[in-house]
Amino acid sequence: MKTLSENLQIDPAVAHRILVEFIHDEICRTGLSRAVIALSGGIDSALSCALAAEALGPQNVLAICMPYATSTPASLADARLVIQQTGVQSETFEITEMVKPLIDGLPPNQQKRAGNAMARARMIVLYDRSAGFNGLVVGTGNKTELLLGYTTLFGDSASAINPLGDLYKTQLRQLARHMQLPAPVQQKAPSADLWIGQTDETELGFTYERVDQLLYLLVDQRYQPDECITAGFEPEFVRQVIEQIRRNQFKRMLPTIAKLSNRTIGYDFLYLRDWGT
Amino acid sequence: MTTLTLGLAQIKTKLGDVAANLDRHLEYIERAASQGVQLLVFPELSLSGYALLDLAPTAARKPVAGDPTFGPLLEASRRMDLVVGFVDEDVRHRFYISAAYLSQGETVHVHHKVYLPTYGLFDEGRFFAWGDSIRAFDTRWGRVGVLICEDFWHASPPYLLWIDGADLMLFCSASPGRGLGQSDKLESAWWVEHVNRAYASLFTAFVAHSNRVGFEDGLHFWGGSTVFDPNGELVVQGPYQEESLVVSQLDLGQVRRTRTRLPLLRDERHALTRREIERITAGDDGARDKG
């Protein structure tokens, strides 16, 4: 029987091959052949960037670094390592002037609102640049953060396609190692870098390693809560994670439409995004 | 005939664009002809694409000479026998995931997919009707059976084809890859290859599987088409995820050699099977017998 951490082991070469083809296929079938990616210096965007570069050719990928005044300088330095390694095109666009008026007008201690505003400003830049570069926005959200809702609605979760959305953070690390991403990118503590000293795991209150082990049982293996407790997780932790998944379902859906007609978008008007391609 | 040059057309398709897919079929038929292929098997819904959803009715075509899609295919079937995947519409306007066996300008057999997965990522039962029969049919290489994807995820359809005389089983799939783990193979590939080998072994028959490739939204179809022989040995396997014309020479004499050594067919007692099924399902209020 596999251990909890063995459950999360993947063959990264298999994922690598499928994801490169996914990016190439899903972009090129639209008639476009380029990608735009928000490159933060973190492991997720570094992976998206590297995969896109391989799928489309580095000259067809535009990595955009979008620091805010309070962003850690190390983030930008790490992003530059990725740009160097992959050979992608790049731009640095500081978002401070875009959001400062909004953030300055907030009441004190509204870090979350300020953080969300920054994430949404980055989305604006990304989508504008995608029009200019004639490419699609490739997302960087992983399965852990999507399930827990650790994203900004219409912010970092906005993209055309998302190659990493079915990989847990723990699995992304294996893929990053396999693809030999720069060591500082692989090793540092994950952070949205929305305020000084922020780290994901401090904010979440648990480690990615532990929550991924639980999410794998709950989601992938469809374990009941009591089965998770038998597997060794604290009841309160199980309850908290289940509730967090449930509470954040709205971030994974289209806005709710009230059904009135016999055929309603989101209910019985059913076509794939890839319709006709 | 003692040998068969079999081709598996492991293709991508354009979702809902039957005309474009027809062109791809004709292209592969040309390629297959140049390699001496005598029977070319296309994957599930090869003429329409798989995740049709509300496109299903618009993708329906009729397997007759007058149909603009089947006309050229029936003509091409004078060069080699063909199995093609399509949406069939019956006279009462029910739509079926179907496969047609075409030979010498005739539609020899149409199979309607019986088992429609409607769970997890699958939603076939929402858009299609369930097929109602499992039949083997005659070809110049003997009796053949055709099944579509989920049909062979149940043991009963291959078993029925075997009892109905099929010594060559042709499985057509649009199987989405899933189950990433430590293995260098996705779980879906492992599972399908495992059962294909088991059917070939248990029924001492040739079992060929034609699976498509390409993406529809985030679903990728993994290819890896296979042929297993009556000993359960792998004859050929196509690459994962790449378009390919997978060609192999089947020594049909292997059926006789295997069954001489291992007469599972000879010893099979289908009357007993029928009696026991009747006993097990007798007096049911219908709950167990889905009929």
Q: B256: domain CATH number?
A: 3.60.110.10
> Is residue B287 a part of any domain in this protein?
no
> Is residue A221 a part of any domain in this protein?
no
d(CA B188, CA B179): 6
Strands B206-211, B168-173: parallel, antiparallel or unpaired by DSSP?
Answer: parallel
| Coil/strand/helix, residue B110 | strand
Q: Which residue of B has its CA nearest to A17?
A: B241
Give residue for tokens 């997965």: B117
Instruction: Please answer whether residues B163 and B270 qualify as being in contact, where contact means their C-beta atoms are separated by less than 8 angstroms.
Output: yes
| Domain extent at residue B135 | 3-281
> Is residue A219 a part of any domain in this protein?
no
Domain count, chain B: 1
Per-residue pLDDT of chain B (291 residues; tens, 9 = 90+): 699 999 999 999 999 999 999 999 999 999 999 999 999 999 999 999 999 999 999 999 999 999 999 999 999 999 999 999 999 999 999 999 999 999 999 999 999 999 999 999 999 999 999 999 999 999 999 999 999 999 999 999 999 999 999 999 999 999 999 999 999 999 999 999 999 999 999 999 999 999 999 999 999 999 999 999 999 999 999 999 999 999 999 999 999 999 999 999 999 999 999 999 999 999 766 555 566
> Is residue A271 a part of any domain in this protein?
no
| Coil/strand/helix, residue A150 | coil
d(CA B225, CA B9): 9
The CATH number of the domain holding residue A166 is 3.40.50.620
Measured between CB atoms, which of A13, A270, A276 is closest to B16?
A276
Give residue for tokens 């081709």: B7
> Is residue B286 a part of any domain in this protein?
no
> Is residue A111 a part of any domain in this protein?
yes
Give A273's contacts in chain B (Cβ within 8 Å): 217
Report angle CA B94, B98, B104 to the nearest 5 degrees: 125
What is the ipTM, given to two decimal places? 0.90
Strands B95-103, B106-112: parallel, antiparallel or unpaired by DSSP?
Answer: antiparallel
Task: Tell me how close the Cα of A162 comes to any Cα of chain B, in angstroms.
Answer: 9
> Is residue A263 a part of any domain in this protein?
no
B262 φ/ψ angles, rounded to the nearest 5 degrees = -135, 85
Q: Which residue of A has its CA nearest to B242?
A: A21
d(CA B227, CA B148): 15
Please tell me the predicted confidence (pLDDT) of residue B285.
62
> Is residue B192 a part of any domain in this protein?
yes
Distances in Å between the Cα of A9 and the Cα atoms of A17, A111, B41 are 17, 35, 36
Give A26's contacts in chain B (Cβ within 8 Å): 215, 217-218
Give A276's contacts in chain B (Cβ within 8 Å): 14-17
Evaluate the CA torsion angle B24, B30, B35, B41 in order and state its sign: positive
> Is residue A81 a part of any domain in this protein?
yes
> Is residue B275 a part of any domain in this protein?
yes
> Is residue A269 a part of any domain in this protein?
no
Please tell me the predicted confidence (pLDDT) of residue B19.
98
Q: Which amino acid is at A46?
A: A
Residue A111 reports pLDDT greater than 60: yes
| Coil/strand/helix, residue A84 | helix
Q: Which residue of A has its CA nearest to B16?
A: A276
Q: Which residue of B has its CA nearest to A275?
A: B15
d(CA A133, CA A27): 14
> Is residue A244 a part of any domain in this protein?
no
Taking an 8 Å cut-off on Cβ atoms, the answer to whether B182 and A272 are in contact is: no
Domain count, chain A: 1
- Lateral strand order in the sheet of A136-137: A89-92, A61-65, A35-38, A136-137
d(CA B238, CA B248): 10
| Domain extent at residue A52 | 6-200
Measured between CB atoms, which of B15, B16, B218 is closest to A22?
B218
